[in-house]
A and B are shown apart, each in its own frame.
Chain A
Amino acid sequence: MTLTAMIAKMSEGLGRTCAIFFLTLLFSLPLGLLVALLRMSKNRLVSTVTRAIISFLRGTPLMLQLIAVAYGPFYLFGATLLVKQKLLAIIIAFSLNYAAYFAEIYRGGIESMPVGQYEAAAVLGYSRTQTFMRIILPQVVKRILPSVTNEVITLVKDTSMAFTLAYMEMFSIGKQIATSQSSFLPFVIAGVFYYLMNSVVAFAMSRCEKSLGYYR
């Protein structure tokens, strides 16, 4: 198999790699905010339970969570895993895991906001929701962007874990070629692909940071 053939074959999996990447962000970013708010709830039960869940999601390997989501239903209810549901299992596991990380980032950002911002808004008559959505959250987004960038870059690389479920994204295809051709080359190609994708991510995120650079 030629190098170009390998690249062509692996490129076919890039769509699936991107699907994991974008769907995970789509669900985990809002979910993370919700989890952060639950984590900061004044209700002790809610905050304790949420903290325990975050701790579990951050303290165990993503690969185990992936396997648990994919095969858990089979062992528990005898449900069979269909090919179509592989992506579903991956998105559920990834979204939960990343939501836990994002939640802690959001929480750090929210807790770093000076109390004076809340007080100024309160005196002007802003409701709690208005204060959060208009005054606090936009500033939090700016503050946490560098940490979010780190997670997003990790996510690009983590998509390779889908091979655990033999979901044929770019890396799994490469791994298959590597086995059948007894070649190391597919791993080099995969490395280049991830590096290129992360260059795009880094560029996009720095554009975001710049667009929020109009204030301090």
Chain B
Amino acid sequence: MNILEIEHCRKQFDGNEVLTDISLTVSEGQVVSIIGPSGSGKSTLLRCATLLETMDGGSLRYLGKSAVRDEGGKSVYASAAELKEIRSCFGLVFQNFNLFPHYSVLKNITEPPMLIQKRDRTEVLETARDLLEKMGLADKADAYPYQLSGGQQQRVSIARALAMKPKMLFFDEPTSALDPELTGEILKVIRALAAEHMTMVIVTHEMAFARDVSDHVIFMDGGVIVEQGDPHAIINNPSHDRTIQFLSRFN
């Protein structure tokens, strides 16, 4: 079953075409990594998929439900109520965490499910405690974000996303704001999620990680998908000049 279907996505910023005809399908349990030089449109693609940015053309569906449909090359968005429901299909983990600094770790995780999904308080608290346990942060429930390291904050933000029980997770360079010695703990968490068959789309510059964790790798440059396919094939034996050039910087 397909969780995410993006077809012919186009996006311009003041006349500048940032995404040109991007199509992407993610099926249940699949882990897709997106790599590419900075400015290639990776974040914009994720932001279109998570409804933070409106696309100009193309369509977007979650679980077969249409969030955006294409009418004669123009994107038409579903109603606010439909979009609200569709939003609960996915979570997004930001590069710089974006935790709510005035909430404790526990409240960061519990408020959204209780407020937005109207879920039962006891159940949500239990879910949150389990997630904190899993993230190795059981003792940090009452801490405030400023009291945590970057790696711990990012794990809280992953827990916050997971507490909503999304069908899939997007990660936009989840380790890029971290000190190198802290990236490992986040990659480990994502690996564990992959082992549990969490559906994920990950923008990353960690090539070895992308190769090991993903089922599918996409190389983007200049707003287009230049090359995609099997992670080992793309990262170890790229066929396009631009991919070769890009990857050579990592070896």
Question: Which residues on A are within 8 Å of B, measured CB to CB?
Answer: 114, 116-117, 119-126, 130, 134-135, 138-139, 142, 214-216
| Shortest Cβ gap from B131 to chain A (Å) | 15
Closest to B83 in A: A125
Tell me if B144 and A116 are in contact (CB < 8 A): no
CB interface residues, B 97-118, toward A, < 8 Å: 98-102, 111-112, 115-117
CA separation between A130 and B98, bound complex, in Å? 17
Contact of B144 among A122, A130, A215 (CB under 8 A): A215
Q: Which of B88, B94, B100 has the most CB of A within 10 A?
A: B100
Contact of B102 among A116, A119, A126, A138 (CB under 8 A): A138
User: Contacts of B98 on A, CB cut-off 8 Å?
Assistant: 114, 116-117, 119-120
CA separation between A138 and B100, bound complex, in Å? 11
| Shortest Cβ gap from A211 to chain B (Å) | 12
Closest to B100 in A: A135
CA separation between A152 and B87, bound complex, in Å? 43
Q: Which 5 A-B pairs have the closest CB atoms?
A: A120-B98, A116-B98, A216-B146, A125-B116, A124-B112
Closest to A120 in B: B98
CA separation between A214 and B96, bound complex, in Å? 21
A119-B52, A139-B101 are known; give 5 further A-B pairs, CB within 8 A: A116-B94, A122-B52, A124-B112, A124-B164, A130-B116
Question: Which residues on B are within 8 Å of A, measured CB to CB?
Answer: 50-52, 84, 87-88, 90-92, 94, 96, 98-102, 111-112, 115-117, 144-146, 157, 160, 164
Q: Given A123-B52, A125-B87, A125-B112 in contact, is the A139-B102 Cβ separation under 8 Å?
A: yes
Contact of B94 among A119, A125, A130, A142 (CB under 8 A): A119
| Shortest Cβ gap from A112 to chain B (Å) | 13
Closest to B92 in A: A123
| Shortest Cβ gap from B107 to chain A (Å) | 10
A-B contacts, 5 listed (Cβ < 8 Å): A117-B100, A119-B98, A120-B157, A215-B145, A216-B146
Tell me if A125 and B88 are in contact (CB < 8 A): yes
Tell me if A124 and B50 are in contact (CB < 8 A): no
User: Contacts of B160 on A, CB cut-off 8 Å?
Assistant: 124
CA separation between A48 and B221, bound complex, in Å? 42
User: Contacts of A114 on B, CB cut-off 8 Å?
Assistant: 98
User: Contacts of B115 on A, CB cut-off 8 Å?
Assistant: 126, 130, 134
User: Contacts of A119 on B, CB cut-off 8 Å?
Assistant: 52, 94, 98
Q: Which of B88, B91, B101 has the most CB of A within 10 A?
A: B101
| Shortest Cβ gap from B164 to chain A (Å) | 7
Tell me if A126 and B144 are in contact (CB < 8 A): no
User: Contacts of B90 on A, CB cut-off 8 Å?
Assistant: 123
Tell me if B146 and A120 are in contact (CB < 8 A): no
Q: Which of B52, B98, B116 has the most CB of A within 10 A?
A: B98
User: Contacts of B87 on A, CB cut-off 8 Å?
Assistant: 123-125
Tell me if A123 and B50 are in contact (CB < 8 A): yes
Tell me if B102 and A124 are in contact (CB < 8 A): no
User: Contacts of A121 on B, CB cut-off 8 Å?
Assistant: 100
Closest to A212 in B: B102
User: Contacts of B102 on A, CB cut-off 8 Å?
Assistant: 138-139, 142, 215
| Shortest Cβ gap from B239 to chain A (Å) | 35
User: Contacts of A214 on B, CB cut-off 8 Å?
Assistant: 144
Tell me if B52 and A215 are in contact (CB < 8 A): no
| Shortest Cβ gap from A113 to chain B (Å) | 11
Closest to B160 in A: A124
User: Contacts of A116 on B, CB cut-off 8 Å?
Assistant: 94, 96, 98
CA separation between A28 and B50, bound complex, in Å? 39
Q: Which of A119, A123, A125, A134 has the most CB of B within 10 A?
A: A123
Tell me if A215 and B101 are in contact (CB < 8 A): yes
User: Contacts of A117 on B, CB cut-off 8 Å?
Assistant: 98, 100
Q: Which of A116, A122, A138, A215 has the most CB of B within 10 A?
A: A215
